[in-house]
Amino acid sequence: MKLYEQTAANLSMLLQKKEVSSVEVVQSFLDRIELVEPYVKSFITHTPAMALDMANAVDNRRVGGEKLHPLAGVPIAVKDNISTQGLRTTCASRVLENYIPPYDATVVETIRRLGMPLLGKTNMDEFAMGSSTENSAFYPTRNPWDLERVPGGSSGGSAVAVSTGMAPLALGSDTGGSIRQPASLCGLTGLRPTYGRVSRYGLIAFASSLDQIGPLSLTAQDSAMLMNVISGYDSLDSTSLSEAVHDYTVHPEEDVKKLRVGVIKQNVSESFDPQITAAVMKSVALLKDNGADVDDVSLPLTDYGLGAYYLIAPSEASSNLGRYDGVRYGYNSGGDNIEAMFSATRGRGFGPEVKRRIMIGTYALSAGYYDAYYLQAMKVRTLIRRDYETAFKRFDILVGATTPTPAFKIGEKTEDPLQMYLSDICNITDALAGVPSLSVPCGISSDGLPLGMQLAAPPFREGLLLKVAGFLEQNRDYLPLRPRVKLPEGGEV
């Protein structure tokens, strides 16, 4: 039995039965990392010694008879914009290349306390600004289903780590699709929780009113187990909400009879790759055949979502990234005077996409333009939220495609920012509305690439999303859990 091929739920069961040790589990994943990582580049920082030390500590606690959490001993990878005390946290940017936080993010503190060994920090688009993980200051991450293609972004490193068997679970962050989109392109389940459901304390901010931490995993059950760990109120996060946390794993495979399903017209567009639309509608038909009530629904403000998002998110980024000036921490280029130092530090420290979004945001917030751009975008956001509230009076969940196309080639869209932004067209309105949204595999393309279906639910109904995703998983027969990575020199691993 290859431990790195197991789901987190299976590993949890094996550990609790003492059929394997945590050290054995971690070593299996470390061996897999050594074999596969050179080809996909999913990590920025590796922590093998730390992971083995944590695993050994868990094993000693278990031998001593201590009652442990079900995920104790199950390793995890963490996106590199989530703070880790004493461990480099770069946001894939030269500005923070050598930054070591003095504290843990709340989610990291939690996984450490429970005894989940940390395998490393994963690659991402710089400051989470991108849809392909090509904007990392260090190197792009490659899709394991086809090494010439992108894994999606910005949580591409986390998605690839799970997809290749280098980690059974990973944490990502989602501002406008950065968990769901790479989950779709890498054949995973990826969940963006309700805004405020998971603490953002220690998440290095991109757009504070949109950012949210969430899980990437092989299965809905695995995501449910991790959601049980990271959900809940945190007094350190002013946006954290005190809604009670339910056990997401209670009914992950329950039937879908009488479920009211709305198919979002705008997210099964004729302009999308027809293979994706066909795969989504096949899954919709499966729900209908099993007793769900299915109907079309229109979210009229969807057409304005992309424009609103790319005003709101860059505006907040402009404000949040103002702190990287070379004075307090991070990269400092030096200079003859303070103005020259600021300019050189930010000019050399930030990559092209980050600079582009800072300029867009600064312009939108500038005197004379705030009302015309940022304020108008916020009004559109309110209307989008009302669209969802209206739709959820008729439907329990809303469904559509996660992405308009399968994974595209590396370099294909880097010279055309607008085309890159359009990659997020299916994901943005859920984020603007603050509702939970999940991507689950729904098919495979003629090129052998995974396709994803997106589910959205009313606030705090993550359990419903996981239940439906679990049902769909139990009825799929077309997609292996993990790909075989075809190597450039021939062969596969």
Structure confidence at residue 177 (pLDDT):
97
Integer Cα distance of 53 and 41 in angstroms: 24
Reported in sequence order, the residue ranges of 139-270 that DSSP labels E, i.e. its strands, are 169-174, 189-192, 212-217, 260-264
Give the pLDDT confidence of 311-363 residue by residue, as tens digits. 999 999 999 999 998 888 889 888 888 889 989 999 999 999 999 999 999 99
Token pair belonging to 118: 């940390």
Q: Which of 155, 178, 184, 283 is catalytic?
A: 178
| pLDDT class of 479 with cuts at 50, 70, 90 | low
Integer Cα distance of 143 and 403 in angstroms: 15
Give the pLDDT confidence of 391-419 residue by residue, as tens digits. 999 999 999 999 999 999 999 999 999 89
Q: What domains lie within the chain, and their CATH numbers?
A: 3-257+467-474 (3.90.1300.10)
Q: What is the dihedral of CA 408, 450, 219, 156, to 10 degrees?
A: -10
Structure confidence at residue 480 (pLDDT):
66
pLDDT higher than 70, residue 478: no
Structure confidence at residue 259 (pLDDT):
97
Active site residue 178: yes
Structure confidence at residue 391 (pLDDT):
98
| pLDDT class of 84 with cuts at 50, 70, 90 | very high
Integer Cα distance of 191 and 178 in angstroms: 10
pLDDT higher than 60, residue 253: no
Integer Cα distance of 210 and 313 in angstroms: 8
Active site residue 79: yes
Q: Which of 21, 22, 154, 184 is catalytic?
A: 154
pLDDT higher than 70, residue 88: yes
Integer Cα distance of 399 and 391 in angstroms: 12
Q: Which of 41, 79, 121, 413 is catalytic?
A: 79
Share of the chain above pLDDT 70, in %: 98
Higher pLDDT among residues 99 and 336, named by residue = 99
Structure confidence at residue 252 (pLDDT):
52
| pLDDT class of 44 with cuts at 50, 70, 90 | very high
Range 210-223 average pLDDT: 97
Range 110-119 average pLDDT: 98
Tell me the pTM.
Answer: 0.97
How far does Cα 388 stand from its chain's mean position?
Answer: 22
Token pair belonging to 281: 């509608």
Range 466-484 average pLDDT: 85
pLDDT higher than 70, residue 17: yes
| pLDDT class of 487 with cuts at 50, 70, 90 | confident
Return the number of other C-beta atoms located less than 10 Å from residue 382's C-beta. 13
Range 357-379 average pLDDT: 93
Range 50-62 average pLDDT: 98
Q: What is the mean pLDDT of the chain?
A: 95
| pLDDT class of 129 with cuts at 50, 70, 90 | very high
Integer Cα distance of 289 and 291 in angstroms: 6
Residues 6+ apart with CB under 8 A from 189: 183, 216, 217, 218, 219, 220, 222, 223, 438, 439, 440, 441, 469, 473
Tell me which of 129-133, 333-337, 377-381, 399-403 is least confident.
333-337
Structure confidence at residue 251 (pLDDT):
62
Structure confidence at residue 334 (pLDDT):
86
| pLDDT class of 8 with cuts at 50, 70, 90 | very high
